[in-house]
Amino acid sequence: MSRIGKAPIAIPAGVTVQVNDGVVTVKGPKGELTQKVNPELDIKIEDGQVVISRPSDAREHRAQHGLYRALINNMVVGVSTGYRKEMELVGVGYRASSEGQVLELSLGFSHAIYIKLPKEVKVEAKTERNKNPLIILESGDKQLLGQVCAKIRSLRKPEPYKGKGIKFVGEVIRRKSGKSAGAK
């Protein structure tokens, strides 16, 4: 039995979960999310909990059991509390500003980069004196938030020599030493 799959998902107050025809819909104060689920898995809502069971111990069923439990749990957490990611721009002259759903980045290229974000993602750019600029992203959809963060990070990945680039707050960049000084 999957350790993750057999754990029930508690439904917090203000959140409703519906299952019909292999589609799970979760509604809450932060929005509404849907996820298509393998129709072979049995999803039941009982005593304020979502319980997922699989029909057999086949390899595919075992894999999907834990997967769909985790996806539904992410949806429940997303519509109740939401997700938040903070990214830091490390480098001289790196700047970020946001206006509505458009994020403007200055990352040392000859031009500014403009990224139009999906309406489900809220963005805020903070710049404080003597600190690296921050980009704060919030959303109820964990998958979409991760994808947006990966896209922003791919514009200027942190490099190992000086540590410049876009990184997550709290992320540790593995540093390398530069050239060895004149080995004779």
Per-residue three-class SS string for 58-114: CHHHHHHHHHHHHHHHHHHHHHHCCEEEEEEEECCCCEEEEECCEEEEECCCCCCEE
| Domain 83-168 grouped into CATH 3.90.930.12 | yes
Give start-end residues of each CATH 3.90.930.12 domain in the chain.
3-80, 83-168
Q: What is the DSSP letter of 162?
A: T
Second CATH level (architecture) for the domain 3-80: Alpha-Beta Complex (3.90)
Which pLDDT belongs to residue 1? 47
Q: What is the DSSP letter of 158?
A: P
DSSP bridge pairs for 42: 53
- Please state, in angstroms and rounded to a whole number, the distance separating the CA atoms of residues 137 and 49: 29
What's the Rg (C-alpha) of the chain?
21
Which pLDDT belongs to residue 21? 87
Burial class from Cβ neighbours inside 10 Å (0-12, 13-18, 19+) for residue 141 reads buried
Enclosing H/E stretch for 35: strand 31-36
Which pLDDT belongs to residue 184? 56
Which pLDDT belongs to residue 49? 92
In the chain, the amino acid numbered 7 is A
**Ordered per-residue pLDDT tens for the chain, 184 residues:** 458 888 999 999 999 999 998 899 999 999 999 999 999 999 999 888 999 999 998 999 988 999 999 999 999 999 999 999 999 999 999 999 999 999 999 999 999 999 999 999 999 999 999 999 999 999 999 999 999 999 999 999 999 999 899 999 998 989 988 887 655 5
Which pLDDT belongs to residue 2? 59
Enclosing H/E stretch for 145: helix 142-154
